[in-house]
A and B are shown apart, each in its own frame.
Chain A
Amino acid sequence: MARKITYQQAINEALDQEMARDPSVIVMGEDVAGGAGAPGDEDSWGGVLGVTKGLYAKHPGRVLDTPISESGYIGAAVGAACNGMRPVAELMFIDFMGVCFDQIFNQAAKFRYMFGGKAKTPVVIRAMYGAGFRAAAQHSQCLYNIFTHIPGLKVVLPSNPYDAKGLLIQSIRDNDPVIFLEHKALYTMEGDVPEESYIVPFGEAAVVQEGDDVTIVAFGRMVNYAKDAGTSLRKKGVQCEIIDPRTTSPMDFDTILESVERTGRLVIVDESHPRCSMASDVSGFIAQEAFGALKAPIQMVTAPHVPVPFAASLEDLYIPSPARIEEAVMRVKEYR
C-alpha cells in the first residue's frame, strides 16, 4: 500500500528490498556502512547523507565500506558485476567520477559489445548531483550529459520518490551498467510510494502535466521547478505539457516528439551547463524531426557556462528558477 516517504527513504527501501530478494546484490562505497570498525547499525552513517543507513545491520557482510579510492572500488564493482554479483556502488558526488572514467567508459560500458554479447555487467553506480548546497564548484555539478554520451551506459535521473524506488529496482535488475543519479535537494521530498516492490521501466517518459500550449521537457530536480512554473502559468491561462524523461539513456524521444507536434512550442529545462547538454540534445532532435511543427524558436533554460559559484548570491542566480522557466514559456507563447 502506498504511503508518504521521502526520496531518500525510497532509495533505501529499493536497496533493502532488492538485497532481500537477491543475495547477489551488494552495496559498496565510502562510509556506506559506517567507517572501518563501526560495530553496526546504531553508529553507522549509512553514507555521507545517510541514504544507506540500516542496511549494514539488516544484510550482514553485504554492505562494504571501501577505501577513499574511487578508481579502485568502482573497478572492483565492475569486476564483481562481471563475475555474477549485482553491486550497487555509491560514488558520493558525481563530480568525483573523473578519476574512474576508464573503469566506466572504457571497461563497463564496452564489455557486452566487445565480447559479442557474452558478457554482462550488472553494476549500478549511484551518485549525488546538483547545485544549491553551497558546496562549490567541485561538489555541485550535473554531469549526466557526459554519461548519456557513452553507448553502453544507462543513465537514470529520478525526480520524485515514486520514480526513485521503481527506477532503482529496475537499475539493479538491469544487466547493463547503470549510472543512477540523485539530486541532493530531492532527498527530503515526500511522495506516495507503494510498500511493495515495483519497477519503472527505462526509456518511458512521464507526462507530469498535460497541456496544449507549450511543451516543457525538464530533467531531475528541474521537473519540480517546471511543475511550479506550470501551476503558475495555468492560472494565467497557459497550459503547459510537462515531460519528465526519467532516463536520459535510453531516452523517450517519442513522447517529446508527439507533444511538440501538438503544441509547436518547446522549452527545455536542464540544470547542467548549456553546451553539449541534455538541453542541446533534445533541442537538436526536435529541430531535425519536428522543424515543420515549430511555431517559435526552442528555448533552453539552463545554468550558464561557468563553474558553480560558491557565493550564495551567485549560486542562487546560477540555478534555473521557476521564474526563468515561466519567462521562457511566455517568450515562446508570445513569439510572432
Chain B
Amino acid sequence: MSSILTVTMPKWGLSMQEGKVNLWLKEVGDSIAPGEEIVEVESEKISGAVEAAVTGVLRRQVAQPDEVLPVGALLGVIADADVSDDLIDDLIARFQAEFVPPTDDEADAGPQTQTVQVNGRQLRYLKRGDGGTPLLLIHGFGGDLNNWLFNHEALAASRAVYAIDLPGHGASTKVTGAASLDDLADAVSGFMEAVGIASADLVGHSMGGGVCLALTRRAPQKVKSLTLIASAALGSDINGAYIDGFVAGNTRNALKPLLAQLFSDAGLVTRQLIDDMLKYKRLEGVDEALATLAGGLFPAGRQSAVLADVAAASGKPVLVIWGENDRIIPVAHASAIPSARVVVLPAQGHMVQMESAGEVNKLIGEFTS
C-alpha cells in the first residue's frame, strides 16, 4: 500500500516550543531514504537537520525558509511517487485544519527527566522508548544528557534508551568523588542496578567513552557492546588548553572560542548554547567538580587512563566513531582497538554525534541491532 507521511517540526530538548525553518536540503521530487537529512531547522538553542524516518519521495515543502512554526507543525510531505497530488493536498488541508499548537503545559508534558539515588548521589536521567536491549548514552566532560538531543529519540524507536547526567554534570549531584573513570563507571553501574538494567549496549562520547571502558573492566557482565564516539582513554593525548580554559571560563567571551573548538561549524555555538553552559557552570559545586575531574583525568594536558586493552580483552563488539577534524581528542586514537569497527566521518569535529546525527544514529542502530 502506498503511504503518505508528514514531516513535522521536531522537539529538540524539553524546552523547545517552536523552531525556524532554515533551508530545505531536499527538493520536491527527490527520493528520500531513512536517515537522510531533509530540512534544516533552528531552535533557540541549536540548529540541526530533520531526518527522514521512511523511504519515499519528497512531494511538498509546506514550510518556507525563515518561517517560525510551533513544535509539531507541518513542514513537508513524503509519499510514494504513485500517490496522487489530490490525496496529498487533502492530507495537507486536513492536517492544517486540525493542527493545534501545543500549549505551554502540553509542551511540558513530553518525556520528563527523572532522578534516582545512587550511593548518596542523585543522578538525573531521561528514558525514551521501551523494550529491546536497553541502550545507555553517556556524555562527555562538561556535557549532559542534552548532548544526545539529536540521537535519543531516533535510537529509541524500538527500544528503551537512557541518557544520564554523570555526577558533577547536568542536574546530577555535583560531588564527583574520586575523580576517576572508575568512580564515574561505578555511578553508571549503580544507576543500572537502580533502574533495573541487567546489561546494556553502551554508547559513550568523549570522557563518557572512557567511562564505558572503565565499566567494561569493572563489571563486564553489564556490557553487551561498546560504541565509543571521539572517546577518551584510547590514548594519552588531549587538548589540555581546551580542558583548562573550559574549567576556568566563567564568561561568554571566555567560553565562546572554546566551545567553537567542539564543532566543525562554529555557527552552532549559539548565544543560547553559551548561556546554558554558563548557567550550568555557575551552579554551586560545578567549578570544583570540573576542576577535580580535570585534575584526576586530564592532568597537565594528558589523559591519565588509557584503557584500549580493556576493550580488546573484553571480547565485546566495539564500534569507534570519530570526526576527522576533532580538535579535542586526536582522530589517531580511533585505531587504538585493533578488533573494533572504526568509522571516521570526514570534516566533522568533536561533537560528531550532534553535527552528523543522522550518520551516527544509523551506525549505532545497525551496530546494536
Report A's interface with B, CB cutoff 8 A. Answer: 1-2, 162, 166, 192, 194, 196-201, 204, 206-207, 210, 234
Contact = CB atoms under 8 A, between A and B. Distances in A.
Contacts of A204: 251-252
A198 B271 CA distance: 20
Contacts of B113: 1
Contact of B282 (A2, A198, A210): A198
Contact of B284 (A2, A196, A201): A196
Given A198-B282, A198-B284, A204-B252, 4 more contacts: A1-B113, A166-B282, A196-B285, A198-B279
Interface string B1-35: 00000000000000100000000000000000000
A194 B271 contact: no
Counting chain A CB atoms within 10 Å of each CB, the highest count among B15, B275, B283 belongs to B283
Interface string B280-300: 001111000000000000000
A200 B250 CA distance: 11
B283 A196 contact: yes
11 contacts: A1-B171, A166-B282, A194-B279, A196-B284, A196-B285, A197-B284, A199-B282, A201-B250, A204-B251, A204-B252, A210-B271
A207 B252 CA distance: 11
Contacts of B139: none
B70 to A, nearest CB: 12
B68 A200 contact: no
B112 to A, nearest CB: 11
Contacts of B279: 162, 194, 198
Contacts of A166: 282
A191 to B, nearest CB: 11
B60 interface: no
A2 B279 CA distance: 11
Contacts of B15: 192
A1 B113 CA distance: 10
Contacts of A206: 275
B283 A194 contact: yes
B115 interface: yes
Contacts of B285: 196
How extensive is the interface on chain B, given as a class? 10 to 19
A199 B284 CA distance: 8
Given A1-B124, A207-B271, A200 B171 contact: no
A162 B278 CA distance: 13
B174 interface: yes
Nearest to A21: B284
Contacts of A192: 15
A2 B171 contact: yes
Interface string B56-93: 00000000000010000000000000000000000000
A2 B252 CA distance: 21
Interface string B102-127: 00000000000101000000001000
A234 B68 CA distance: 9
Contact of A198 (B115, B251, B283): B283
Contacts of B124: 1
Interface string B173-200: 0100000000000000000000000000
Contacts of B271: 207, 210
A290 B197 CA distance: 60
Nearest to B282: A198
Contacts of A162: 279
A106 to B, nearest CB: 34
Interface in B280-337: 282-285
Contacts of A210: 271
A166 B124 CA distance: 22
Nearest to A169: B284
A166 B171 CA distance: 16
A2 to B, nearest CB: 7
A196 B252 CA distance: 21
Contacts of A201: 250, 282
Interface in B121-174: 124, 171, 174
A194 B285 CA distance: 13
Nearest to B170: A1
Nearest to B270: A210
A30 B115 CA distance: 40
A225 to B, nearest CB: 19
A251 B283 CA distance: 23
Contacts of A200: 282
A206 B115 CA distance: 30
Contacts of A196: 174, 283-285
Contacts of B275: 206
Contacts of B68: 234
Interface string B244-270: 000000111000000000000000000
